[in-house]
Amino acid sequence: MQTIELYQALIMDHSRSKKYRGCCDPTTHAKDGHNPMCGDHIKLTAQIVDDKIKHVRFEGEGCAISMASASLMCEALEGLTVAEAQTVFKDVHALLTSDDQTKDLGKLSALENVKSFPMRVKCATLAWHTLQAAITNNQNEVSTE
Amino acid sequence: MRRDAFPALDGDLCYLDTAASALKPKVVADATYQFELSDYANVHRSAYKLGYKASVAFDKARETCAHFIGANPERFVWVGGATAGINLIAHGFLKPILCKQDNIVLTIQEHHANWLPWWDVAKASGASVRVVPVGEDGVITVEDVLQYVDKNTKMVAISHVSNITGQVQPIKALCQKLPEHVYCCVDGAQAVAHIDVDVNDLGCDFYVASAHKMYGPSGIGFVAVSKRCFSLCHPYQTGGGMVLSVGHGEVVFQDGPVGLEAGTPHITGAIGLAAACDWLREIGLSAIRAHELRLTDIALSCLRESFKNIKIFGHSQGDQTGVISFEMHGIHPHDIATILDEHQVAMRAGHHCAMPLMRHWQVPALTRLSFGIYNDQKDIDKMLQGLQRVVEIFGTHHADN
């Protein structure tokens, strides 16, 4: 696969989008995540009311893949219940790491090409791991290593 | 220059990451292979002929490698690498003499290997760490360091060559100016395969390096120790091979470097590094230096001319080696490295184990190219083509939503 397919328009647009950047106000869940290999850092906040994800926002610095993945995640999870979000998390994880994922994940399917660049999978999963830890109130610092 | 000596470069690979680790020439691989197959046995403990032969080869390797940097083999200690070497100095030399009122002087551009061990021993003894800042030109003057040195300074730890900017630091002039009570540890990891190093001439107390950055095997490095410091060094790890006698709690260590080397050493690694040193000497450090400087000059002018959105750190004044770090505005180094990889160009992206410097310069990461003995103009051309492609891919998308 060529890199132009990795950096398709949807990924590039989301990597530069400011729509989901920032902090939720009020914030009910928060977590920091790191990718030690490249120094990517993400600060994730969520507003979850009555088991429903109202907003997810992120701040941080990272490559186009990690920023796009975070932005796509914020968009995809708004309005879902926590249980529904967990299902999406599993589906995206499968999309990035196995060949068995056949579900149509809509815009999130744009992340599928990352699978062909194994060194970059951790960039794409950073936001998802961080959110997972925020939701489950995992006290440990999130790291993709 | 010597591309044909490296089987890994038989194909199209354009390897521009020698600062992370150098590829291995066939002559080094052959020496280690041959030794393992025919001459290998444990050293300094066997009565049989094979063990004697291996010990002679191992001792000779120490001499060869020590002489390569002008060091005395009697004070040339094998360690696991530069990181292990600095830990040996920090824990085995400095910690026992470090007091609460003392301080250690570092520069902000140090690799984590020449940063974390000093903080560890400072914390353990309540001593303080003083950090010399470095501007984006990468230049450190003797005066910059001396400003932080006072009567309580026990150690100045500084890299000979920066792994970010390739800046060659004024070690000899610094050592001449440091007061007698201050010890100086030099991290030579980025220097030894690129500039002629003579530790006696430099006048430092400790000089450390890793074999894998010198076209030798990974997992081995060395510490060259000054005469005044050697007897003050204690083993950082203890075990077999290093002792004269052992009892219930008491131990007498051997004299010389062996007394600081616990367990069976990386025997084959030493043989491999000696082969690398012989090979580098044969080519000549001045020829290598000239070759890498020529490539560096070409790369710098091409990068500056071809890309308006590029910012190069360092390379403004003084001496440098062939290490160039840069950022391209709005494009993350990791994305650059992935697209370059598609063009068979291997380059490093990230914090380069220098997070304090990245924070100081307020950059999340940098892209780095670094030259070795095998690079030529074609590598620069391929890198430039790859970077053009980066600009094409990232320039074709304009999102502002």
Each residue's pLDDT tens digit, B229-241: 999 999 999 999 9
Out of A30-39, B72-81, B208-217, pick the least confident. Answer: A30-39
For residue B393, give the chain A residue with the closest CA.
A4
d(CA B214, CA B81) in angstroms, rounded, equals 11
Tell me if B393 and A7 make a contact (CB, 8 A cut-off). yes
Span B269-321, pLDDT tens digits: 999 999 999 999 999 999 999 999 999 999 999 999 999 999 999 999 999 99
d(CA A90, CA B150): 58
A19 to chain B: which residues are within 8 Å by CB? 401
**Residue B310 host element (H or E):** strand B310-313
Percent of chain B with pLDDT over 70: 99
Answer yes or no: do B358 and A7 touch at CB < 8 A: no
Inter-chain CB proximity A2 and B342 less than 8 Å: yes
> How far is it, in rounded angstroms, from Cα B35 to Cα B152?
48
The pTM of the full predicted model, rounded to 2 decimals, is: 0.94
Task: Give A7's contacts in chain B (Cβ within 8 Å).
Answer: 335, 339, 393-394, 397
CB contact under 8 A, A16 and B339: no
Judge contact between B165 and B314, C-beta under 8 A: yes
A7-65 pLDDT, tens per residue? 999 999 999 999 999 999 999 999 999 887 777 889 999 999 999 999 999 999 899 99
Inform me whether the pLDDT recorded for A138 exceeds 80.
no
DSSP per position, B332-386: -HHHHHHHHHHTTEE-EEE-TT-HHHHHHHT-S-EEEEE--TT--HHHHHHHHHH
How far away is chain B from the Cα of A16, in angstroms, using its nearest Cα?
6
Has residue B398 got a pLDDT over 50?
Answer: no
Q: Which residues, in sequence order, are bridge partners of residue B86? A: none
Is the predicted pLDDT of residue B125 greater than 50, yes or no? yes
B92-112 residue pLDDT tens = 999 999 999 999 999 999 999
B153-195 per-position pLDDT tens digit: 999 999 999 999 999 999 999 999 999 999 999 999 999 999 9
Give tens-digit pLDDT for A74-84.
Answer: 999 999 999 99
Residue B396 has pLDDT above 60, yes or no: no
Rounded mean pLDDT of A90-118?
Answer: 89
- Residue B367: what pLDDT? 97
Structure tokens at B350: 């990230």
Q: Using 50, 70 and 90 to split pLDDT, how confident is the model at B399? A: very low
CA distance B94 to B87: 10
Query: If you average pLDDT over residues B351-363, what whole number do you get?
Result: 93
- pLDDT tens per residue, range B31-53: 999 999 999 999 998 889 999 99
How far is the C-alpha of A25 from the C-alpha of B222, rounded, in Å? 55
Residues 34-63 (A) with a CB less than 8 A from some CB of B: 37-41, 61-63
Calculate what percentage of chain B has a pLDDT beyond 90: 95
Active site residues of B: 353
ipTM of the complex: 0.90
Q: Nearest CA to CA, how far is B370 from chain A (Å)?
A: 18
